[in-house]
Amino acid sequence: MGIVNVTPDSFSGDGLGDNTDAAVRRAVKMRKDGADLIDVGGESTRPGFTEVSADEEMRRVVPVIARLRHELDIPISIDTYKAEVARAAIEAGASLVNDVDGFLREPQIACVAAQAGIPAIAMYNHRGRQLRDTIGNIVEGLLDSLGIAREQGLPDDQIIVDPGFNFGWKDDQALEMIRRLAELRVLGRPILIGTSRKSTIGNVLGGLPVEDRLEGTAATVAIAIANGADMVRVHDVKQMTRVARMADAVVRPDGRPSGRGRNSEAAAL
């Protein structure tokens, strides 16, 4: 999954503001570099981020998605927790909803995905929560998300789960998450993880700035795949495509996913 941030304040320094042409060029290049889908976001979720209105978020993302619908032959995802934004993005051409609040903030976003007949990603967001056990917290939170989705008409087999790397975790907890990622298979859902350029990588490697976290990202991507990740969300598509293909050749030599619950439309992405 290649990341296209149509924001002025992305933590990774790659925010494109409202430059639709630049966003489309980046997405097209990511496709050429090996991306299997593109995730378009119009609001930063960095620590301490400033929320924007649904109208502003739609103003940023809808023109990009509408253009990409005709430029790309791969799925387009909308990165939002707002049901109104998700609905507009789907009408523009998005075929996947990526919710960093796991349907908890606006449960109706799961209904929007259900009505459109498309999959959704439910991320566990640890910000503001008490820690008991890293994987235990994640499993409990994602079970809540799956329950909300069912209530909104979105079945389990339409959901991809994301443990929320660096969303409220200390560095040692974020690393434990990757180390124990295989335990999330108990949920029976495809697993996505997004470690790309995150602060934990910079901290572990002696305070490296965002632009110098490529190798650290590569290490987390490879280990996450070895531990069961089915999708990785990244900024540096060319390099991480190579890492993912090499990791897959080692851990999935027969070409089949290693996790459970793979006979689903979500996994078909």
Write down the pLDDT at residue 228.
Answer: 96
Write down the pLDDT at residue 256.
Answer: 64
Catalytically annotated residue among 233, 242, 245, 252: 233
Average pLDDT, the chain: 91
Position 267 confidence tier, pLDDT thresholds 50, 70, 90: very low
Category of 245 on φ-ψ map: left (φ > 0), alpha (ψ -120 to 50) or beta: alpha
pLDDT at 265 over 60: no
pTM of the model: 0.91
Category of 240 on φ-ψ map: left (φ > 0), alpha (ψ -120 to 50) or beta: alpha
Write down the pLDDT at residue 208.
Answer: 96
Question: Which residues touch 264 (CB under 8 Å, ≥6 apart)?
Answer: 119, 157, 158, 190
Let me know how long the chain is. Answer: 269
Distances (CA, A) of 112 to 88, 97, 163, 185, 244: 10, 9, 22, 26, 31
Write down the pLDDT at residue 109.
Answer: 98
Q: Residues 192-200: what's their mean pLDDT?
A: 96
Question: Which residues touch 75 (CB under 8 Å, ≥6 apart)?
Answer: 36, 37, 38, 95, 96, 269
- Please give the backbone phi and psi of residue 135, each rounded to the nearest 5 degrees, phi first: -70, -35
pLDDT in tens, 100-130: 999 999 999 999 999 999 999 999 999 989 9
pLDDT in tens, 50-98: 789 999 999 999 999 999 999 999 999 999 999 999 999 999 999 999 9
pLDDT at 178 over 50: yes
**Rounded to whole angstroms, how far apart are CA atoms 144 and 102?**
9
- Please give the backbone phi and psi of residue 150, each rounded to the nearest 5 degrees, phi first: -60, -45
Q: Residues 142-149: what's their mean pLDDT?
A: 98
Write down the pLDDT at residue 122.
Answer: 98
Catalytically annotated residue among 189, 197, 198, 213: 198
Domains and CATH numbers, the chain: 2-268 (3.20.20.20)
> Coil, strand or helix: which one is 231?
strand
Write down the pLDDT at residue 7.
Answer: 84
Position 17 confidence tier, pLDDT thresholds 50, 70, 90: low
pLDDT at 148 over 80: yes
**Rounded to whole angstroms, how far apart are CA atoms 231 and 225?**
8
Write down the pLDDT at residue 45.
Answer: 75
Q: Cβ atoms within 10 A of the Cβ of 45, count?
A: 20
pLDDT at 204 over 80: yes
Distances (CA, A) of 268 to 55, 184, 187, 213: 32, 19, 18, 30
Write down the pLDDT at residue 51.
Answer: 86
Position 259 confidence tier, pLDDT thresholds 50, 70, 90: very low
- The percent of residues above 70 in pLDDT, for the chain, comes to 90
The reply to whether 233 belongs to the active site is yes
**Rounded to whole angstroms, how far apart are CA atoms 75 and 52?**
25
CB 138 within 8 A of CB 182: no
Position 180 confidence tier, pLDDT thresholds 50, 70, 90: very high
Q: Residues 205-226: what's their mean pLDDT?
A: 97
pLDDT at 212 over 80: yes
**Rounded to whole angstroms, how far apart are CA atoms 75 and 29?**
15
The reply to whether 170 belongs to the active site is no
